[in-house]
Structure 1
């Protein structure tokens, strides 16, 4: 029984070292992956068999320590190193990196719960054919768009208009405004609309509303797309040459970033273990506003601007893999694996000797 236990111990050690080597391999494979956060492995002892319990001393004899035999080790944790990493310049207008804590919110269109969206540190953004700001994998980027509404969120307009009067703090996909056709008397178009003018939605009961007659309108053409350090997205109307403010990119932070669940394509999701999520705009922009256009002091609503991170336009976050550290760990895990195989071969030799006693 003792020999078979030694073999089980060696097997558990081999499995643990192999799992650790898998993490190292994944880190090395992603050495050039933008926004990649490397994994870190820790080990823990496995179950113990108690041959004799410890005892306290008495008037006649002293105490004794317990006698226990361990049965190897297991992987304890595989943590993500969420520390900020070096930024790499790209010179591309749509590329932005986060300086500090926080994640971009991306996902499919129509999502309303931030926790159902993907979190990402990879800010390779562009405008797609439908006018949406998307990342390189086609997910729309969520944030706060320009609308026709009062700055304090009250007495909100119910119709679309030519001039975006403020930024709505409802979290929605970021998109270019619609383009006016300039047809005199056309249903739904604001009075005085010229061809190519930007038409912004109104806000009613926290819903963004365009006149239903504008449903067949396409988005404006644009040039000079720019994203500022405060997340403000601007461009030039390709027809009228007027400046246009699309809105602001939103950032999400969680209580325990290491508790995020790693998804595919450099995405994370806020599942159990990461704590509460907070939404903000970069660089303290919109810091005096409440989420979902709530008036000041609304109970239960979240005040924006809690995040201290800002954006770095024209940069992307480099991979967090440190090749020197990974190669050193590779050697350590390899030697650990090799040593555990020796336990198995030595145990096998001892079992062979035990069997040969009969001969």
Structure 2
């Protein structure tokens, strides 16, 4: 029945406009949420009923166009606007915003394998702190991933020759992606040869192996002060016991081929699932340019992943990325969707009136 079709079209459009208003409501609700990326709704036409097919005509008659009746609309896409927005100053040296494309990588203490790092979460919110066990975490307790300072052997010229077992002999940056943590403190009863009480013990790092502390895993983290994050992602602090400066490591960033294809989970977190393309991991501002991930060595460059070169996004210390919600646009969309919903309610009420007239014809 034609009247039933018009009512179905109106109802489907009302549902679509309600979904659009829900998206607008979520955008407005998160107008002050750091790192929030707003959604944008597009509509698509619904199914069509073909009453007569088109023809190319005959030797004597011209062609005709198809006759089709549509049955409303539905939500086509709900896209995330991943464009970079303004930064807001917080005055906290442990906060960091990303100047450009990129996401922080966060996870648990178990580390990652050598795959595409799909087990880690991505976030735009860089509100970092240090927990009781020395791990660098965000406000929700998830651990920040990056490239840690590790123990190394150096030659007489000070050149790193090997990234070895845990100990205090020297320091180098490991390019194994690991949970970032303060180095451990040497204890009187449990310290490497030549170390003083309170000295920083750095983890060992080998190619294709997670950073470990070996026999010193039970030691507490160093006591520290003046911890800060640089534009290149470098985390530094001072050792309270010795007064020595300490480089904890570098925060890692990641990019994906299609940022709008990331799957939003909860809070500020995204997952790199199907639809987002390939993920690349690097240090901010090209700070580890030319080095290979996972401490890989050799000349077969075709099989190795490299860090991003010069020109990558830098961090902005003391800032957090503001919400991407544009209130002017959202209020305009709210009016448009409201009027669209209102217009489609008229389709339903008019169709109902016509059906009433049809039912009353026999009287």
Q: Give the shorter-chain TM-score range.
A: over 0.9
Q: Does 1:32 align with 2:32?
A: yes
* Paired residues of 1:226 and 1:233 also in contact (CA < 8 A): yes
Residue among 217, 222, 226 paired with 1:224:
226
Determine the structure 2 residue equivalent to 1:178: 184
Determine the structure 1 residue equivalent to 2:246: 244
Could you tell me the TM-score, scaled by structure 2's length? 0.94
* Paired residues of 2:168 and 2:192 also in contact (CA < 8 A): yes
CA 1:101–1:258: 2 relative to 1, 3 Å: same
* Paired residues of 2:163 and 2:172 also in contact (CA < 8 A): no
SS in 2 for 1:223: strand
* Paired residues of 2:12 and 2:72 also in contact (CA < 8 A): yes
* Paired residues of 1:97 and 1:316 also in contact (CA < 8 A): yes
Q: Does 1:347 align with 2:354?
A: no
CA 1:153–1:278: 2 relative to 1, 3 Å: farther
* Paired residues of 1:95 and 1:313 also in contact (CA < 8 A): yes
Q: Does 1:123 align with 2:126?
A: yes
* Paired residues of 2:20 and 2:41 also in contact (CA < 8 A): yes
* Paired residues of 2:28 and 2:327 also in contact (CA < 8 A): yes
Q: CA deviation at 1:232?
A: 0.5
Structure 2 Cα separation of the partners of residues 46 and 296 of structure 1: 57
Pairwise CA RMSD of aligned residues? 1.5
Q: Does 1:156 align with 2:160?
A: no
Structure 2 Cα separation of the partners of residues 157 and 265 of structure 1: 39
Residue among 301, 320, 324 paired with 1:316:
320
Q: Does 1:196 align with 2:198?
A: yes
Q: Counterparts in 2 of 1:1-359, with a 5 A limit? A: 1-113=1-113, 114-149=117-152, 155-158=162-165, 160-181=166-187, 183=188, 186-187=189-190, 189-205=191-207, 206-212=209-215, 214-298=216-300, 299-306=302-309, 308-359=312-363
Deviation by residue 1:29-53 (Cα, 9 ceiling, x = unmatched): 0000000000000111000000011
* Count of residue pairs brought into register by the alignment: 353
* Paired residues of 2:111 and 2:210 also in contact (CA < 8 A): no
